[in-house]
Amino acid sequence: MYASTSQSNPGWILTPYSAVPSRSLASFPRIVSAVAAIQRLRAIRFIPAREAVAQLAVWQESSRILQLYRRYFPQEFTHSTAGTQVPIQHHEPGYSERELEFLNLVDQRLFPLPEMMFDNERLPSIPIYPQGVDWEDEPENIRLSLRAAMALVSGDDWMQWETWLSPHLRPLSGERDWKCFAELCRHTKGLAVRFPLLLELVALDTGNLWLDTSWDASWEEYPWEEEAIEYLKKEWQEAQRIFAQLDPLLDRMDKHPRYWLTRLVKLWNAAIKPVAVPS
């Protein structure tokens, strides 16, 4: 009696060769000579341990990204025919075609991704692409409404207020009572109630990740994990809500700068803290 194929004896491993049914003999590997075996072993390229670990990390991340693809866009994932092989260019791994599909969907439906994500260069984490005011940009490239708010917050005089304000009205220097400023704006009519939010935007102080991050700031790294994606998606939804509030105000200010900048500067001046008189 001989051992049968079972979970404890897969593939007739425990069965004497003479007792193996003939129909199973074809499944055994072909025996090669020792010389051929040595030649095959010599042809194998063994890579350094550090390189092997790096490759495993890339494959692990790629697998994680594809799992997220299936989690967030199940229909697109099911019908995808894109390849999953991770390309290597100049010894650097990129993103597979299917990963790039996922990244495009993230950019379109969840939160913005920079163009560098699609340049075949694999990044170590989810890149945060600042969506707020760029203080490094040239003033002439910034819309007038934002430029005026930036001038107030920074105290710079490059705004040329004389172009927009009457001769007796200029922004006053001094410490600002922000609570008072918000109250003054709240009691005004119309879109001026959103002036505090405008100043928070240009000061990178909205409390929103996408709007407060600048190019020269150190960024927290967000791995390709569901928790990070949910957080970034929620923050982007909040950023869009802030844009929806500010866009009408910015459009009005750009269209009628004299009127709106006058209102803004008057409220700005009215919120200066009184100077304490020494007793």
Pairwise CA distance, residues 67 & 58, whole Å = 14
- Any idea where the domains of the chain sit in the sequence? 49-118, 139-270
Pairwise CA distance, residues 156 & 150, whole Å = 8
pLDDT value at position 180? 95
Whether 12 shows a pLDDT value over 50: the answer reads: no
Summarised one tens digit per residue, pLDDT across range 223-256 is 999 999 999 999 999 999 999 999 999 999 999 9
- What number is the average pLDDT over the span 191-205? 97
pLDDT value at position 14? 43
Residue located via tokens 């042809």: 43
Summarised one tens digit per residue, pLDDT across range 252-268 is 999 999 999 999 999 99
Going by pLDDT thresholds of 50, 70 and 90, the confidence category of residue 75 is very high
Question: Residue 135: CB partners within 8 Å, gap ≥ 6?
Answer: 150, 214
- pLDDT mean across residues, the chain: 84
Going by pLDDT thresholds of 50, 70 and 90, the confidence category of residue 23 is low
Pairwise CA distance, residues 257 & 263, whole Å = 10
Q: Which amino acid is at 99?
A: E
